Amino acid sequence: MASEKHGLPHDDPPSYEAASIPAQNPPPPRRLARPPPLELPALLLLKDRRVILASASPRRKALLAQIGLTNLEIIPSNFEENLPKDVSPFEYVLGTASGKALSVYETEVNREGVQEPGLIIAADTVVVSNMGEILEKPRSEAQHITMLKQLRDGGPHRVYTAVVCVTPLESARDPGYALERAWEETVVKFDSTISDELLLAYVKTREGADKAGGYGIQGTGAVLVERIEGSFDNVVGLPLRTTLKLIEKVLAKADDDELLAGEDPDEPEEEE
């Protein structure tokens, strides 16, 4: 067991169990003026509908607020995030995010006395080391610092986030919903010269205890990162541009009454 005397981490500090529990009576955050919402047809359509984020992540909630989705219901999924890791990283996050979205959809669409959900958004993020190992949230302080050393010493790593949007079909035809999903990849490189002392100091802040890969690029964890290639908000946990496209795409499929009277949209057209 590591020794506290020498400033090294314990194997299983209890604070990791409560890493995602917000502090009691935190000081009020400094609020900046929020820009007006985007006046896009899809977003205006959601104005009076239930929009559910199937995640307790405050970072995802904040990102969705940037496009005007501020009246979100936060309903974390109870989907077991234990899919086999013998698939590609993007298949892994797509499977998990789909499971989260459909789990919340099935619960909410069958609830009595509440409005049917208009849109459910779910996401899943993993960090993949340069050796191909899928890294999720650290489970102890010792594992946390080992994970960060691996990312520092191993060269660039990759962050994968999958986003899934689900909305009920107007016709209620089987399976009763439309689903759209996508994934995004960002390459991240840690500064290889950062010291063990800095890594340990960061671990003790607990900022990264509830995050895939053990760091938050949008916070103090930025001091660990030398550069990225790709979407910044993908590393935070929700690629916003991709999410907006999925929202527009899935809502366009919701009113499918006209499709029922015509051809199957998935059936290939005959060439002339």
CB crowding 212-232: b at 16 or more within 10 Å, else e: bbbbbbbeebeebbeebeebe
Counting Cα atoms < 13 Å in the Cβ hemisphere of 85 gives 10
DSSP state of 236: H
Catalytic residues: 124
Alpha helices in the chain (DSSP H): 41-45, 58-65, 89-109, 141-153, 196-205, 232-236, 240-254, 257-261
| CA dihedral angle for residue 173, residue 266, residue 124, residue 183, rounded to 10 degrees | -160
Identity at 101, one-letter amino acid code: A
Q: Confirm if 177 and 169 have CB atoms less than 8 A apart.
A: yes
* Whether the bond into 76 is cis, omega within 30 of 0: no
| CA dihedral angle for residue 16, residue 141, residue 214, residue 199, rounded to 10 degrees | 140
Count Cβ atoms below 10 Å from residue 36 Cβ, excluding itself: 6
The answer for residues whose C-beta is within 8 angstroms of residue 157's C-beta and 6 or more apart is: 127, 128, 129, 130, 135, 151, 187, 188, 189, 190, 213
Q: State the helix-helix crossing angle for 58-65 and 240-254, rounded to 10 degrees.
A: 70
In whole angstroms, give the CA distance from residue 216 to residue 208. Answer: 6
